[in-house]
Amino acid sequence: MDDMMIVAYDITHPRRLQKVAGIMKDYGVRVQKSIFEVGVDPLRFQQMRHRVERVIDPKEDGVKYFALCPKCSDTLIALGVGSEQFGVGEYLIL
């Protein structure tokens, strides 16, 4: 079973931003412009993280990975635009 995770990033250069977004699309679903929800096992998480680390400039860019516990990921609160794309009981977006 994959672990649910929220990935949020702030990338300063457009080319790196595009590359990071492309990597994230390989692993999950975009829920906002710079926020993805991903379901990954530990090995796929390490692969994803390694790919991102090879692209970003750590002096200018930031990426944060928020793990969702199984109990938390069973709850969904989504409001406004895009909220209809989520299935009940599958996601928690804070």
The CATH number that applies at residue 23 is 3.30.70.240
Q: What is the pTM of this model?
A: 0.79
Q: Which structural domain range is residue 30 located in? A: 3-85
Task: Identify the bridge partners of residue 28 per DSSP, sorted by sequence position.
Answer: 38
For 9-38, the pLDDT digits (tens) are 999 999 999 999 999 999 999 988 999 999
**Which is more confident, 4 or 70?**
4
CA dist 39 and 42 (Å) reads: 10
**Domains in the chain: how many in total?**
1
Report whether pLDDT(1) > 90: no
**Which is more confident, 94 or 72?**
72
Cβ atoms < 10 Å from Cβ of 35: 17
| Side chain identity, residue 72 | C
Q: Is 35 within the bounds of a domain? A: yes
Q: Which one, of 90, 91, 67, lies nearest residue 5 by Cα?
A: 67
Q: Is 91 within the bounds of a domain? A: no
